[in-house]
Amino acid sequence: MPMCNAQALLALPHDQMVEVIRRWTRKKMTETQSWNFWARDDQAAPLEDWRVWLVMAGRGYGKTRMGAEWVRALAAQHAGARFALVGATLNEARAVMVEGESGLLSLPHSERPIWEPSLRRLTWANGAMATLFSAAEPESLRGPQHDFAWADEIAKWPSGIKAWDNLMLGLRLGENPRAMATTTPRPVSLVRRLNAEKGVAITHGRTTDNDMNLPPDFIASVRAIYAGTRLGRQELDGELIADAAGALWSRDLLERQRATAAPELKRVVIGVDPPVSENGDTCGIIAVGLGVDKNAYVLADHSIAGASPERWARAVAAAAEAWQADRVVAEINQGGNMVETVLRAADIMMPIKRAHASKSKSVRAEPIATLYEAGRVFHVRTFLELEDQMCGLIAGGGYEGPGRSPDRADALVWALSELMLGKTDRVPQVRLL
């Protein structure tokens, strides 16, 4: 009664399963500790010819383990091979790809490479070597050559296309250089490009495909909350979802309005959307500058989640100081004078506008979206969370983005209204002395 892996074993009736296990030899028992035994059929590398293997799947699908095992197997087969391990940041690459529960150091001791954190380097006994890189520093990928590359969570990469292009241009060692990209899908430019590119083999997967290794309570809770929603389809079902119908911003529009740097700035404003509570809500804090070319430039997203009023006020103060802002525009609907009070306690010594919202967030955002369409607003880098929220605001009302509220997008709207429209919605000005 042949049995190749755990998936096949678990599909057997109980009596047959017991009979199969009884016949196992000591060697077979040892083999059950391997990835080849536990990997599901849908986690196997594609059979067709490919240069890039793109794994787009929901959270908890097993993407990280797939990447680590793919690197491990290639390192064992190719003595002296050179690998690039690229994460959104160096910290994420180290914490997830190397030291995480499914990372390269979680493998059996006999197959585990030597890890030298100061050198960002892993070395196997046969001389195969992997170096960590940050997608936030795409120029660091210019020059190094590699046989293979594992790119993790590419939908989160802050300089996605530039980092990817530099990585691929250096993927030129060996007879068959290849790259594996693992990610929860987001409709950012890099993911959309790879999804349509020739030579890219794609594996799709859902969170529930890995239910054997996930707590039942987790599966039940996320299904209850997110089943049927756009966020659930993306984060759990691994779908690459197009722009929401009627969205004020599209991904293509935001890509067109991206700049490598801002020109000389005439002034900087910090927009603030205070949280309703401290229970995980985010305080939107966005820095926007007005250039000498009369265009606006989104400079930074300093938003902070789950913070007390004192903490988010300090974050606003730090952002204002960092950008030498001349004004803070803060919505007061939820907190009234409390917003002014906590900002005063944070020693913000500059004019503050208390913005009272009499219209919905999406309605307030419509004239700002028009400025983008007119080519008057630019993003100096990729702001993933902010842009996800912007693309979730629907014309005429409604929100289909991540989170309960588009707090970051709302802070952006307040700042750009002050800079580009010369007004906010009933905004008495108060100077803190």
Domain total in the chain: 2
If asked whether residues 227 and 256 sit together in one domain, one would say no
Is 191 contained in some domain? yes
Residue 199 CA to residue 219 CA, distance in Å, equals 34
Residue 235 CA to residue 120 CA, distance in Å, equals 30
If asked whether residues 157 and 132 sit together in one domain, one would say yes
pLDDT of residue 5: 72
Position 243 pLDDT exceeds 50: yes
Position 267 pLDDT exceeds 50: yes
If asked whether residues 383 and 308 sit together in one domain, one would say yes
If asked whether residues 218 and 294 sit together in one domain, one would say no
Q: How confident is the model at residue 2 (pLDDT cuts 50, 70, 90)?
A: very low
Q: What is the mean pLDDT of residues 27-54?
A: 79
- Reported as half-sphere exposure (CB side, CA atoms, 13 A), residue 59 has a value of 12
The CATH number that applies at residue 139 is 3.40.50.300
Position 426 pLDDT exceeds 90: no
Position 356 pLDDT exceeds 70: no
Q: Lowest-confidence range among 36-50, 88-102, 246-260?
A: 36-50
Position 405 pLDDT exceeds 90: no
Answer with the one of 169, 201, 235 that is the final residue of a domain. Answer: 235
Q: How confident is the model at residue 428 (pLDDT cuts 50, 70, 90)?
A: very low
Answer with the one of 205, 235, 265 that is the final residue of a domain. Answer: 235
Q: How confident is the model at residue 425 (pLDDT cuts 50, 70, 90)?
A: very low
Is 336 contained in some domain? yes
If asked whether residues 192 and 295 sit together in one domain, one would say no
Q: What is the mean pLDDT of residues 371-393?
A: 93
Percent of the chain exceeding pLDDT 70 equals: 86
Residue 52, both tokens: 């890039």
Q: What are the pLDDT digits (tens) for 78-136?
A: 999 999 999 999 999 999 999 999 999 987 777 789 999 999 999 999 999 999 999 99
Q: How confident is the model at residue 349 (pLDDT cuts 50, 70, 90)?
A: low
Contact call for residues 68 and 97 (beta carbons, < 8 A): yes
Q: How many CB atoms lie within 10 A of CB 172?
A: 10
Residue 306 CA to residue 322 CA, distance in Å, equals 22
If asked whether residues 292 and 178 sit together in one domain, one would say no
pLDDT of residue 432: 34
Per-residue three-class SS string for 281-292: CEEEEEEEEEEC
Is 416 contained in some domain? yes
pLDDT of residue 108: 76
E-assigned strands of 237-358?
265-273, 282-291, 296-301, 304-305, 327-331, 351-355
pLDDT of residue 423: 53
If asked whether residues 313 and 348 sit together in one domain, one would say yes
Q: What is the mean pLDDT of residues 266-284?
A: 84
Q: What is the mean pLDDT of residues 279-289?
A: 88
If asked whether residues 272 and 220 sit together in one domain, one would say no
pLDDT of residue 144: 94
The more confidently predicted of residues 274 and 97 is 97
Q: What residue type is 394 in one-letter code? A: I
If asked whether residues 346 and 225 sit together in one domain, one would say no
The more confidently predicted of residues 230 and 423 is 230
Is 25 contained in some domain? no
Answer with the one of 202, 235, 268 that is the final residue of a domain. Answer: 235
If asked whether residues 397 and 304 sit together in one domain, one would say yes
Is 212 contained in some domain? yes
If asked whether residues 179 and 264 sit together in one domain, one would say no
Q: Are strands 351-355 and 327-331 parallel, antiparallel or unpaired?
A: parallel
Residue 224 CA to residue 230 CA, distance in Å, equals 14
Q: How confident is the model at residue 163 (pLDDT cuts 50, 70, 90)?
A: very high
Q: What is the mean pLDDT of residues 65-90?
A: 95
Q: Are strands 327-331 and 265-273 parallel, antiparallel or unpaired?
A: parallel
Q: What is the domain range of residue 105?
A: 50-235
Is 265 contained in some domain? yes
**Distance set, CA 326 to CA 269, 312, 348, 394, 427 (Å):** 6, 19, 10, 31, 16
Position 393 pLDDT exceeds 80: yes
If asked whether residues 307 and 426 sit together in one domain, one would say yes
pLDDT of residue 317: 87
Q: What is the mean pLDDT of residues 335-343?
A: 60
Is 164 contained in some domain? yes
Q: Are strands 304-305 and 282-291 parallel, antiparallel or unpaired?
A: antiparallel
The CATH number that applies at residue 267 is 3.30.420.240
Is 7 contained in some domain? no
pLDDT of residue 111: 78
Per-residue three-class SS string for the chain: CCCCCHHHHHCCCHHHHHHHHHCCCHHHHHHCCCHHHHCCHHHCCCCCCCCEEEEEECCCCCHHHHHHHHHHHHHHHCCCCEEEEEECCHHHHHHHHHCCCCCHHHCCHHHCCEEEHHHCEEECCCCCEEEEEECCCHHHHCCCCCCEEEEECHHHCCCHHHHHHHHHHCCCCCCCCEEEEEECCCCCHHHHHHHHCCCEEEEEECHHHHHHHCCHHHHHHHHHHHCCCHHHHHHCCCCCCCCCCCECCCHHHHHHCECCCCCCEEEEEEEEECCCCCCCCEEEEEEEEEECCCCEEEEEECCEECCCHHHHHHHHHHHHHHCCCCEEEEECCCCCHHHHHHHHHCCCCCEEEEECCCCCHHHHHHHHHHHHHCCCEEECCCCHHHHHHHCCEECCCCECCCCCCCHHHHHHHHHHHHHHHCCCCCCCEEECC
**Mean pLDDT score of the chain:** 85
